[in-house]
């Protein structure tokens, strides 16, 4: 049977926040330029720019906003470039020299800022499944129905390594820290 599955985007280490902040982007080739910061997290940012930069190139990024309460200047590495036809081209940068205290303060100030709205739907792929195994779990107040591939259902309980399987089931979310 041909079954469609939703391909989830890669997990991010931190949640991006939707901001519109003027910033100064300084590169070796282009010098200092005024650009627009469109999303921000304690680990990186997305900057709208038409400057041609290669992934791996280092830039100096400076920005300030009333929500942040201070001006932040940090060294950043270009992680990726995006040339979208709908809007101005942008680059994704990863902060490489942001002090831990400044990063914590940035995370604290950004926690009430909403994330950007998704621009596109998740990609769907067709995969071949020989047969589905269905079972119901009656919890009294509700009934859960599970459907899995027969190949997964045939695995013996002792053979399943939960640590290996957990990122698949949780979407690579970080593990909970249990307090005992």
Residues 126-145: b if buried by 16+ CB within 10 A, e if exposed: eeeeeeeeeeeeeeeeeeee
Please name the helix (run of DSSP H) or strand (run of DSSP E) that holds residue 62, with its range, or none.
Answer: strand 58-64
Total residues belonging to the chain: 180
Q: What confidence tens digit (pLDDT) does each residue in 58-92 have?
A: 999 999 877 767 889 999 999 988 866 556 789 99
92/159 Cα distance (integer angstroms): 41
20/38 Cα distance (integer angstroms): 5
- Hey, where are the domains in the chain? 17-110, 129-170
Q: What is the DSSP string of 90-104?
A: EEEEEESS--HHHHH
**Contact (CB, 8 A) for 16 and 115:** yes
pLDDT at residue 75, as a whole number: 95
Supply 28's token pair. Answer: 């070796």
Supply 21's token pair. Answer: 């902040």
CATH of the domain spanning 17-110: 2.40.10.220
**pLDDT tens digit at each of 180 positions of the chain:** 566 665 555 556 677 888 899 999 999 988 999 999 998 988 999 999 988 889 999 999 999 877 767 889 999 999 988 866 556 789 999 999 888 888 888 888 888 888 777 666 666 677 666 677 777 888 888 888 877 766 655 566 666 555 555 555 555 555 555 554
């Amino acid at each position: 049977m041909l079954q469609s599955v939703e391909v989830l985007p890669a997990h991010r280490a931190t949640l991006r926040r939707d901001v519109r902040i003027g910033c100064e982007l300084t590169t070796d080739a282009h010098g200092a330029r005024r650009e627009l910061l469109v999303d921000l997290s304690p680990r990186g940012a997305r900057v709208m720019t038409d400057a041609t930069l290669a992934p791996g190139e280092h830039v100096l990024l400076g920005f300030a906003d009333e929500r942040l309460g201070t001006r932040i200047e940090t060294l950043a590495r270009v992680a990726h470039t995006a040339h979208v036809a709908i809007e101005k081209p942008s680059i994704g940068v990863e902060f490489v020299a942001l002090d831990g205290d400044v990063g914590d303060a940035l995370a604290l100030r950004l926690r009430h800022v909403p994330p950007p709205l998704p621009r596109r739907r998740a990609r769907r792929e067709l995969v071949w499944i020989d047969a589905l195994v269905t079972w119901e779990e009656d919890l009294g107040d509700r009934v859960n129905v599970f459907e899995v591939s027969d190949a997964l259902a045939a695995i013996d309980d002792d053979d399943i390594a939960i640590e290996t399987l957990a990122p698949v089931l949780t979407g690579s979310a970080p593990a909970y820290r249990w307090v005992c």
